[in-house]
Structure 1
Amino acid sequence: MPVDVALLAARVRYGPLEALHGVDLTAPPGGVTVLLGRNGSGRTSVLHALAGLVPLSAGRIVWRGRDVTGLSAHRRVRLGLTLVPAERAVFPSLTVAEHLALGTPAAAREVLELLPELSALLPRRAGTLSGGQQQLVAVARALTASPRLLLLDEPDRGLAPAVAARLHAHLLTSSATTGRTVLLTAQTLPPTLTGAAAVHVLHRGGVAFSGEPAELTNPLPARCASI
Structure 2
Amino acid sequence: MPVDAALRAARVRYGPLEALHGVDLDFPSAAVTVLLGRNGAGRTSTLHALAGVVPLAGGRALWRGRDVGGLSVHQRVRRGLALVPAERGVFGSLTVAENLGLAGPGRAEVLELFPELTSLLDRRAGSLSGGQQQLVAVGRALAARPALLLLDEPERGLAPAVAARLHARLLADAADGRTVVLTAQSLPHTLAGAAVVHVLHRGEVVFSGEPGELLPGRLTSRHESN
Q: Quickly name the TM-score band, shorter chain normalised.
A: over 0.9
How well do the aligned residues superpose, as a CA RMSD in angstroms? 0.9
Aligned residues, how many? 225
AA in 2 matched with 1:55? P
| Correspondence list, 1:162-177, <5 A | 162-177=161-176
AA in 2 matched with 1:146? R
Aligned to 2:86: 86
What is the distance in 2 between the residues matched to 1:82 and 1:217? 31
What is the distance in 2 between the residues matched to 1:81 and 1:120? 29
Structure 1 residue ranges (4+ consecutive) displaced by more than 6 angstroms after TM superposition: none
**SS state at 2:3 partner:** coil
Aligned to 2:194: 196
**SS state at 1:225 partner:** helix
| Correspondence list, 1:135-146, <5 A | 135-146=134-145
**SS state at 1:4 partner:** strand
Residues 1:186 and 2:181 aligned together:
no
What is the distance in 2 between the residues matched to 1:83 and 1:103? 12
**SS state at 1:54 partner:** coil
Aligned to 2:155: 156
Residues 1:3 and 2:26 aligned together:
no
Aligned to 2:215: 217
Q: Percent identity?
A: 74
**SS state at 1:34 partner:** strand
Aligned to 1:132: 131
Q: Once the 2 structures are TM-superposed, how far is the Cα of residue 160 of structure 1 from its aligned partner?
A: 0.2
What is the distance in 2 between the residues matched to 1:102 and 1:91? 10
Residues 1:64 and 2:61 aligned together:
no
TM-score, normalised relative to structure 2: 0.98
| Correspondence list, 1:8-27, <5 A | 8-27=8-27
AA in 2 matched with 1:176? A
Q: Once the 2 structures are TM-superposed, how far is the Cα of residue 218 of structure 1 from its aligned partner?
A: 4.3
Aligned to 2:119: 120
Structure 2: stretches of 5+ with no match in the other structure: none
AA in 2 matched with 1:153? D
Aligned to 1:39: 39
**SS state at 1:189 partner:** coil
Q: Once the 2 structures are TM-superposed, how far is the Cα of residue 126 of structure 1 from its aligned partner?
A: 0.4
Summarize deviations over 1:142-194 as a string: whole Å, max 9, x none.
Answer: 111110100000000000000000000000011111x1100000000000000
Summarize deviations over 1:70-99 as a string: whole Å, max 9, x none.
Answer: 111111111111000000110111010111
What is the distance in 1 between the residues matched to 2:182 and 2:216? 22
Structure 1: stretches of 5+ with no match in the other structure: none
What is the distance in 1 between the residues matched to 2:146 and 2:97? 19
